[in-house]
Amino acid sequence: MTGASTGIGKATAIRLAREPATELVLVARREGLLRELAESLPCRATFVAVDLTAEDAPRCLREHLEAEHGGELQLLVNNAGAAWRAGFLEGGYANVNRHMELNFDAVVRLTEELLPLLRASSPSAIVNVASTAGRVSRARTGAYSASKFALIGWSDSLYAEERPEGVHVGLVLPGFVATEGFPAAELREKALTRWIVSKPEKVAEAIYECGPGGRAERYVPRPYALAAIARILLPSLTRRVLTGGAASDLTTTTGSE
C-alpha cells in the first residue's frame, strides 16, 4: 500500500485491515506516521519509509516483502501521488517531469519489480489510483492530468497482459476528495459546492472493489463518470464548460503548493 501515511492510502490500510488474515506493508516517506498507523491496526503491519522516486526504492520494497512477508503479495495498491498546479508556460517541462516521476514512472518501476511476486501469489491484484483528471483536463492541471492519463492507458494494457497470469489490474478514479494533499478548501467553504467533495473512506471501499473484488474501475463519487462520458461524446461542450466563468473554482489549491 503506497501513500499510506495520510488520506486515501491511510483510509485504505484501515479498510484492508478488517479483512481476515491480512498482512500489510505501509509505504510513504514519513516514518513517524507509518509507525503510528501500523501500531494502531488490528492486523500485522510493517512499514517502509522511502521516497518512491528514488532509484533503489523498488528493490528496497521487494527485499522487505521477501524478508518480512515470505515474498507473498496478493495486492499492490499504487496510490502515492501529488499535484503541483501551474500553467504550462509557468511550470514548463520541469513540472510535467515532476508529476511523471511520481505519478507514473514510480508506479511503473515498482510494478515491474513486484510483478513476479504478484504472479507467484496469484490470484492477486494491482489497483492503480488514477483520477477523474486522468479523463478530463482543466487549466493549470495539465502536468497532473498527463501523468494520470498515462497511468490509465498503461493500466488497461497491463490488465490485458496479466489476466491470463491471474493478476487482476483495477483502476480507481477519484474526483474531489478532501485530504492533506488535496484539501479542496475552495469547494468545501461554499455551500453550493461542498457536496461534490467526497471522503477518503469512500475511495478505500472502491479500492477494495477494484482489487480483491475484481472490478475494472470505479469513479468516486460515481457521478464523476459523467465528466468522462461528456469528454468523449461532447468534447466542444466539455471545453466550453471547463473554460467558463465557474471553471477556475474546479482547479483547487493542492497541499504540495
Ligand X SMILES: NC(=O)c1ccc[n+]([C@@H]2O[C@H](COP(=O)([O-])OP(=O)(O)OC[C@H]3O[C@@H](n4cnc5c(N)ncnc54)[C@H](OP(=O)(O)O)[C@@H]3O)[C@@H](O)[C@H]2O)c1
**Dist. CA 124–CA 214, nearest whole Å:** 9
**Which class for 202: exposed (0-12), middle (13-18), buried (19 or more C-beta within 10 A)?**
middle
Catalytic member of 10, 144, 219, 224: 144
The answer to whether residue 219 is catalytic is: no
**Residue that has been written with the C-alpha cell 504550462 in this structure:** 88
- Number of helices and strands (H, E) in the chain? 11, 6
Site string for ligand X, 102-131 (x = CB under 6 A): x--------------------------x-x
**Dist. CA 63–CA 242, nearest whole Å:** 45
Query: Minimal distance in Å, beta carbon 3 to ligand X?
Result: 3
Which residues in 14-47 are b (16+ Cβ under 10 Å) and which e?
A: bbbbeeeebbbbbbbeeeebbeebbeebeeebbb
Scan residues 205-244 and list those touching ligand X (CB under 6 A).
none
Site string for ligand X, 170-199 (x = CB under 6 A): ----x-xx-xxxx-----------------
Scan residues 28-87 and list those touching ligand X (CB under 6 A).
28-30, 33, 51-53, 79-82
Catalytic member of 10, 148, 159, 224: 148
84 contacts: CB under 8 Å, gap ≥ 6: 91, 95, 98, 99, 143, 144, 254, 256, 257
The answer to whether residue 144 is catalytic is: yes
Does 100 contact ligand X by CB under 6 A?
no
Q: Under rule CB under 6 A, how many of the chain's residues touch ligand X? A: 29
Minimum CB distance to ligand X smaller for 33 or for 43: 33
Minimum CB distance to ligand X smaller for 119 or for 138: 138
Amino acid at 23: E
Residues that bind ligand X (CB under 6 A): 3-9, 28-30, 33, 51-53, 79-82, 102, 129, 131, 174, 176-177, 179-182, 255
Active-site annotation, residues: 144, 148
